[in-house]
Structure 1
Amino acid sequence: MNGSSSNEGKSLNGNPKQIEVFELLNSKNGPKHCTLTPWRVFRGVLCLVILLSTAFMMLIYWAPVVCLLLRLFSVHYSRKATSILFGTWLSLWPFLFEKINKTKVVFSGENVPEKERVLLFANHRTEVDWMYLWDLALRKGRLGYIKYILKSSLMKLPIFSWGFHILEFIPVERKWEVDEAIMRKKLSAFKDPQDPLWLAVFPEGTDYTEQKCIKSQQFAAENGLPILRNVLLPKTKGFNSCLESLRNSLDAVYDITIGYKHRCPLFIDNVFGVDPSEVHMHVQRILPREIPTSENEVTAWLMERFRLKDQLLSDFLTLGYFPHQGTEGDLSTPTCLVKCFVVVTLTIVFIYLTLFSSVLFKIYVSLSFTYLSFITYFGIQPQPVLGYVKGLFCGKKAC
């Protein structure tokens, strides 16, 4: 792969037509794959209304049960119930991408075994990369267990911020002096090997743009680092912290490279189904013992992974595909429809109970709304009562 990447890079530099294709595929402002028609606008708005309304009602009715009452007795079973319920709702997104928008999702590289605890790191082409990882997680039965490290401003989004908190995403300010303590505290809660885990990290820290790439290249040139064209230099402290905290409980680390045809999509492109035509994900499996242990060595290792990732993307932009395609099959349409039917039916029932049934349901909704707003704003996760009582008892006994 390395040799072919070098040759492709040389031919790319010398061929104006290939340069034009390269710039087009790197752009977020090129021509859209599908024309934005009134029908697509209507369909997109309808899908967004369904996604928001189902998210709101599922969170309002289920979150206090599985994330408060159940968690007071067992974090493990609370996470399991959360995975089943909210993983079912999350499956609506891959259904939208692959079945309604007809976006082709192509997986290549190595196959991902099921039932593994993994750390994933990927390049950050655009604002919706993280959503396409749901397509892979759904195929592996881990959709409800996937967690992200995301910028803290996203925790201010209405409704979605509740979901991010319930699913235990890790918000960061992208300032290590602020984030270090937060990350270590959050990561310490994910060490139990009995709890399934897919933790996704985007080491670049932000999505790719030409302006950011130029700044990244200037920094690289000044500090003797690789000059990268398709990715930004990774920020290594967050990745190293994840690896250091979880290494002993991980089955594998996955290096995922994401490429788009024929234009990098924005969130609104996904809603209206005008882009992308294809999403390609190349997967490389790495055992934790194959990764160095010291921080400096991990930094060098991650830099090298991104250099190889840059070469891989150069090949993709030239050839239109990653090597070893076809590692994952298509989503099951009947299964997607059943999950969609269940979520929509439950939402209709919840809306009816809220608006037309006993006043007790209105009180429940009001209390749930207040509870979700409170725990999300203050970043609170309930702790098991039995563990607290046991600790209190042991403390008194020691005295």
Structure 2
Amino acid sequence: MRKLSNWSPCLNQLRFSVTGLSSGGFTVMLGTAPPYLLSWSAWRLLSTVLPSRLYHTVDDCVYSVYQSMVLFFFENYTGVEIVIYGDIPKKKENVVYLSNHQSTADWIIADVLAIRQNALGHVRYVLKDGLKWLPLYGWYFSQHGGVYVKRSANFEEKAMKKKLSSQIKLGTPMYLVIFPEGTRYNPELQKVINDSQAFAAKEGLAVLKHVLTPRMKASHVAIETMKEHLDAVYDITVAYEGTLTAAGQRHPAPTMPEFLCKECPRVHIHFNRLDMREIPVEPVFFRRWLHERFEIKDKLLTTFYDSEDSEKKCRFPGKSQKSPLSLTKTLPSLLILGGLTLPMLLTESGRKLYFNTWLYGTLIGWVWVSVSP
């Protein structure tokens, strides 16, 4: 320990950050998973004799409790400043949310917007197929209406249509989050960027600098299948402040652990609501339309990274507003889930149930996702 005390201040700061992270965000977010899933499972069992619509209504409420607890750590705890460009509708809408993808924290940004519309429980994701193997969460996201998709030639269009159509028949509120790039943009992975740009050039599309060439399949299937159910498409462009080096080069966006370590001072969110009448249905025209939307994102991000001022702050063009999140939106959820978790951990029988839920819940979830379409 004496050697550690002689290390540089930077390493001491890193140790402090990691300690704060492990004792705060991830510990609670992961630690509350078993009681949350047990509560949801009890409701799922009870709801088998109740109308499906009632099940989904309560499921959305339960889900919003968990996600607002997550936002306690990603907004209130970190103190990150949310800067929004554009006018977010105050009313709830059925939407497809299309965003650029650069960080493991990107899915949180959808929650950031949804909670400001009181639509947090409606958020569902189109996810990479491999994420269905996440312990506990992988299976639950599917139960909440999430869609797992494979890439390229393995994309199962019929399965996605079937899943979304079943949600529409139930009248399920939809805030469907899609990242059309399919993988994260990382300026350090130059081969991925080069391959993406080469694909665009081969297809006669504009070559993009700050985003990857979007793939259309999941977005097109979602919008085509739900076009009568949707109110709009939300076109979102996200930039994390502090990702520009002193030499003016872009470096990777913060990961979830880095975000929780308070390494991102501001998140800039450019919001654009698109009416469904603006979106072409025919695949060839939709592909061109989607690429044009990403050309706009690329220009916005170029402006963002070229606009650094004397205070090392970047911004998107246009008017913006800071949007702090009230503790009243998140703290009650933290107290509820903490209140469910602590009693389990304070008794021997509770701890046994807790760890068995992790073990058997994960195994049952893996069996379920491996046999379900």
Which residue identity lines up with residue 269 of structure 1 in the other structure? E
Alpha-carbon RMSD across the aligned residues, in angstroms, is 2.8
Identity %: 29
Counterpart of 2:117 in structure 1 is: 140
Q: Greater relative contact order (Cα 8 A, min sep 6): structure 1 or 2? A: 1
- Equivalent residue in structure 1 for 2:219, among 239, 255, 266: 239
Q: Aligned partners of 1:106 and 1:321: how far apart in 2?
A: 9
Residues 121, 201 of structure 1: 8 Å contact kept: yes
Give the CA deviation at 1:350.
4.1
Change (3 A) 1:277 1:368: closer
Counterpart of 2:278 in structure 1 is: 290
Counterpart of 1:119 in structure 2 is: 96
Q: Which has the larger radius of gyration?
A: 1
Residue 128 in structure 1 maps to residue 105 in structure 2: yes
Give the CA deviation at 1:289.
1.5
Counterpart of 2:369 in structure 1 is: 379
Q: Aligned partners of 1:199 and 1:354: how far apart in 2?
A: 41
Q: Aligned partners of 2:94 and 2:14: how far apart in 1?
A: 43
Residue 269 in structure 1 maps to residue 249 in structure 2: no
Give the CA deviation at 1:378.
2.2
* Higher helix proportion: 1
Counterpart of 1:340 in structure 2 is: 334
Give the CA deviation at 1:241.
0.4
Q: Aligned partners of 1:340 and 1:228: how far apart in 2?
A: 41
Q: TM-score, normalised on structure 2?
A: 0.84
Residue 279 in structure 1 maps to residue 273 in structure 2: no
Give the CA deviation at 1:231.
0.7
Counterpart of 1:52 in structure 2 is: 30
Change (3 A) 1:381 1:372: farther
Q: Aligned partners of 1:167 and 1:372: how far apart in 2?
A: 16
Residues 150, 172 of structure 1: 8 Å contact kept: yes
Counterpart of 1:90 in structure 2 is: 67
Q: Aligned partners of 2:208 and 2:11: how far apart in 1?
A: 31
Q: Aligned partners of 1:186 and 1:270: how far apart in 2?
A: 33
- Equivalent residue in structure 2 for 1:308, among 296, 299, 309: 296
Q: Aligned partners of 1:277 and 1:261: how far apart in 2?
A: 6
What are structure 2's unaligned runs of at least 5 residues?
1-9, 244-252, 308-313
SS in structure 1 at match of 2:32: helix
Which residue identity lines up with residue 379 of structure 1 in the other structure? V
SS in structure 1 at match of 2:234: strand
Trace 1:99-118 onto structure 2 (pairs within 5 A).
99-118=76-95
Which residue identity lines up with residue 34 of structure 2 in the other structure? F
Trace 1:347-362 onto structure 2 (pairs within 5 A).
347-352=341-346, 355=349, 362=353
SS in structure 1 at match of 2:219: helix
The number of residue pairs the alignment matches comes to 344
Give the CA deviation at 1:333.
1.8
SS in structure 2 at match of 1:348: helix
Residue 154 in structure 1 maps to residue 131 in structure 2: yes
**Higher deviation after alignment, 199-208 or 82-91:** 82-91
Which residue identity lines up with residue 41 of structure 1 in the other structure? V
Q: TM-score, normalised on structure 1?
A: 0.79
Q: Aligned partners of 2:210 and 2:65: how far apart in 1?
A: 34
Describe the superposition over 1:278-299 as per-residue Cα deviations: whole angstroms up to 9, x where unpaired.
1111110111112112111111
